[in-house]
Amino acid sequence: MSQPIPVSASDWNHFFDLAAVIALIALAIVMGAMIYFIVRYRERKGQTKFIPDVSLKKGRARDSVIFASISIIILVSLVVASYQLTPNARFEPAVSKSMVIDVTAYQWAFNFGYPNGVNTLDNLILPGNTTVMFNVTSTDVMHNFYLVQFKVSIEAIPGRYNILWITTPAVNGNDTYSYNIYCKELCGVGHTYMDANMTVVSQPAYNQWLASQNATISSGTGG
């Protein structure tokens, strides 16, 4: 089953690919040089080699400056690229947030509070093609709200509301997409099993589900 890659994850993947390629080139250059030096300048049996005295007055500081400059150029270009990409990776508050979910983490579950007062446990249902803001907190120790396939996470800290936002992929008809939510911060013995499911459904299906939850609540309070 192939699910659409969320936009935050595809942004992440693009930037990761770029950074990883540059990193691997750097690794290849350093390792290539090292291996070349080892092969080229290794001590051979029976050889007599002229070892020059250390340059006593002249350092090789100039060479170092050249190498430092090269790495500065590479890193600065990466920084620029990252600054361009970070807003896409949902660092700036979304301009139009169409939906707010209160996430309350505790040992060892996630409670999701919907705008109209509905609460669910370890089970998050979201409409497709919507920008969702999570208002994340904790009632006991530190947890981490990690949306695995969305490649974003935020700490759940007692007494503090942290914000994280995503855009859910568009969903047609009766399709549903399911994603994983993990806790990434060691939070006690139940940490391993502290996870939740996120299901993205179409807007009509979501409305229908929310209405049924509302009905449950009203009948519950009424009875």
Contacts (CB under 8 A) with another protein, residues 74-93: 75, 78-79, 82-83, 85-86, 89, 91-92
Residue among 21, 31, 121, 211 that touches another protein (CB under 8 A): 31
In the bound state with another protein, the residue whose beta carbon lies nearer, of 140 and 218, is 140
In the bound state with another protein, the residue whose beta carbon lies nearer, of 50 and 174, is 50
- CB 217, min distance to another protein, A: 28
Show the DSSP H helices in 157-222 as ranges: 203-222
| Cα(106)–Cα(190) distance, integer angstroms | 10
Amino acid at 7: V
Residue among 1, 2, 45, 172 that touches another protein (CB under 8 A): 45
- Taking alpha carbons only, the member of 87, 83, 103, 124 closest to residue 8 is 87
Size of residue set near another protein by CB under 8 A: 81
Residue among 184, 199, 213, 214 that touches another protein (CB under 8 A): 184
Give the CA dihedral 145, 148, 150, 156, nearest 10 degrees.
10
Q: Check if the beta carbon of residue 134 is closer than 8 Å to that of residue 124.
A: no
In the bound state with another protein, the residue whose beta carbon lies nearer, of 155 and 202, is 155
In whole angstroms, how far apart are CA 112 and each of 10, 93, 123, 208, 222? 26, 20, 8, 18, 23
Stretch that binds another protein, among 22-30, 126-134, 202-210, 211-219 (CB under 8 A): 22-30
| Cα(21)–Cα(17) distance, integer angstroms | 6
What token pair was written down for 23?
A: 């990193």
Handedness of CA 147, 123, 222, 206 (dihedral sign): positive
In the bound state with another protein, the residue whose beta carbon lies nearer, of 158 and 204, is 158
- Residues 144 to 183: which contact another protein by CB under 8 A? 144, 146, 148, 151-155, 157-160, 162-163, 180, 182-183
Q: Check if the beta carbon of residue 164 is closer than 8 Å to that of residue 189.
A: no
Per CB under 8 A, does 16 bind another protein?
yes
- CB 93, min distance to another protein, A: 9
Binding mask 94-113 for another protein (x = CB under 8 A): --------------------
